[in-house]
Chain A
Amino acid sequence: MSTSITTCLWALAFTFTSSLGQAEQPPLTFGRVVSLELEARLARKPSIYLKLDLARQVLEIKARGIVLDKVPVKACQGATRQAFHVRTQPMQLRLPVVWEVVTGPGDTDREVIAPTTLRPARRGDEEEEEPSPVPRGTPTPTPTPRPETPSRYRVELAGNLLLWVTDRLPAAGLWHRFLQAVREGWASVVRGEQPPKDPPGFVLLVETEDARRLHHLFRQGMQLLVVAEGS
């Protein structure tokens, strides 16, 4: 009697712990193993890398396999340029995959200081006063206000792909697409401008503050591991 109870308790404990284990780690699939191998390869280098999990809707900032920070992702969608009347088809994304940033806002959005001439440096004995710690209560200099970090930007990825990071999805209804198409057609006829030929891309929708947080990370060489693992 007592033996059967013990067996039952053991069975229950085993079921409970194994279900806990499953909650912590996704089941071992071929894709999961490949993603682990890809991450192990990224973590070998002393660089920051990003891991986007489409199933958990989270973008992790990582280094050496540890999570430094997390950014919740509100949506991730495919983006393509096509005639407004063509029926939209879902975009397939083979996962796991590693994208590499070719050019991002972290490379391009920079303020430049370029003095035109230089005057001779002040000699030590010509200094008006020796630098000293600022006494309490003395106003300290404030830097020139910097322009606010954009919350909508595009990142060029290797393999002719684009990633749009945005805090607001562009209007995607038929009417909006029609108006946009008319605008592009008008520009083409009147000004001779060709419609933009963006390669296929992906739109990552995040909070405004999170888009700004990620802005400087998207620079040349940044690696982005994309998986759909869940947890």
Chain B
Amino acid sequence: MNHKTLVISLLISAVMLSISGTAMSDDDYERGGFLNRWFGDSKPGVAPVENPYYLEECGSCHFAYQPGLLPARSWSKLMAGLDDHFGENAELPAEDAKILEDYLVGNSADKSNHKRSKKIMKRMPSTDTPLRITETRYFIKKHDELSRNMVQGNPQVESISRCDSCHKQAAKGSFEEDEIEIPGFGRWEDD
């Protein structure tokens, strides 16, 4: 083919590829179309927890929520009220609480370059200081197709706070749609 045809076909290919990147589902956006992965600097999902002390302390009663799921101001507020931690007493000696707070605040959503952390922050008004990940706008939007019998009425799930009940790779910071398996319902099929 001649020079002109080559340039035009290369241009068309580049346009098609970038369109296909943005036309993908919302979920794939968090993973990133391949152009984003090649040229973007955002990492997928949420940064996994690698702090063993945090895992031990904050994962002893519930899923060890990644710091990248809430902004620093939320974590600080939460750590200041451990004696009434959603109705439970989770008190710690001050020096231990400080270690955990430093970890949370240092790796919070507003400091992270992971895709979901960025999305969480983008949809959160700066005047909001949510204590519950499940009450963030991003979370609510993402879970708005669930029915009660899949979660609250499901004896194998019971609460929407139990991420790892359905998100099988949650502990790795991955919440991709194709990793979801709702106990008693099976894999998530998006219509």
- Decide whether A and B assemble into one complex: no
A contact residues vs B (CB 8 Å cutoff): none
B contact residues vs A (CB 8 Å cutoff): none
